[in-house]
């Protein structure tokens, strides 16, 4: 074999290696873009599940105003959940925390935790987790003021979930 033939074989080997490396890089790029889409889909699914769990919790008998009203939380029931009863639901609801913050009418510019006078923030329960993400939804917070009178306020129902 001559020198030219060896040179042509070397050229062909480098060309095959170059094409091989090109397709490996294209494959890595495609796999990476698929993984990004999968990660985004996972986060979207987690978000929609959390929002569905907010609706389930708000409309559960432990919080709901009763009747056919949805997205309504009974203030008296919520106050009961502030005590030891709320701790019994740690395993029942697979979430890290439940908080309710009064939005309107809210005379206090700062957060005052309940139970106290003129409070505007309820920490129903919280599992001490450092890595959590919160989702919220607006609710009606109602309190019965007698047999025929109800006082309702606008509040934000905040649920914390473990951020993976």
Question: DSSP readout, 3-18?
Answer: HHHHHHHHHHHHHHHH
Residue 127 lies in a domain: yes
Distance (Å, rounded) from C-alpha 28 to C-alpha 38?
Answer: 15
Domain assignment present for residue 30? The answer is no
Question: Nearest-CA neighbor of 94 among 46, 31, 28?
Answer: 46
In whole numbers, what is the pLDDT of the chain averaged over residues?
A: 84
Residue 106 located in a structural domain: yes
CB atoms within 10 A of CB 156: 15
pLDDT tens by residue, 62-112: 888 877 678 889 888 888 888 677 777 777 777 888 889 998 887 777 888
pLDDT of residue 1: 66
pTM: 0.70
Residue 125 lies in a domain: yes
Domain hosting residue 52, numbered range: 41-162
> Within a domain: residue 23?
no
Query: Domain total for the chain?
Result: 1
- Could you report the per-residue pLDDT of 47-68, keeping only the tens digit for each? 888 888 888 888 888 888 877 6
- The answer as to whether 36 is a domain residue is no
């Amino acid at each position: 074999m001559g020198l030219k033939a060896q040179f042509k074989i070397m050229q062909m080997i480098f060309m095959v290696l170059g094409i091989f490396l090109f397709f490996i890089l294209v494959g890595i790029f495609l796999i990476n873009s698929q993984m990004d889409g999968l990660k985004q889909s996972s986060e979207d699914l987690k978000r929609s599940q959390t929002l569905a769990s907010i609706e389930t919790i708000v409309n559960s008998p432990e919080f709901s105003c009763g009747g056919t009203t949805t997205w309504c939380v009974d203030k008296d029931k919520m106050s009961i959940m502030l005590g030891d009863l709320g701790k019994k639901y740690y395993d029942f609801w697979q979430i890290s925390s439940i908080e309710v913050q009064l939005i309107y009418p809210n005379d206090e510019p700062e957060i005052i935790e309940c139970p106290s006078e003129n409070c505007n923030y309820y920490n129903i329960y919280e599992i001490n987790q450092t890595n959590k993400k919160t989702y919220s939804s607006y609710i009606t917070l109602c309190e019965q003021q007698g047999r025929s009178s109800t006082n309702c306020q606008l509040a934000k129902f905040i649920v914390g979930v473990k951020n993976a």
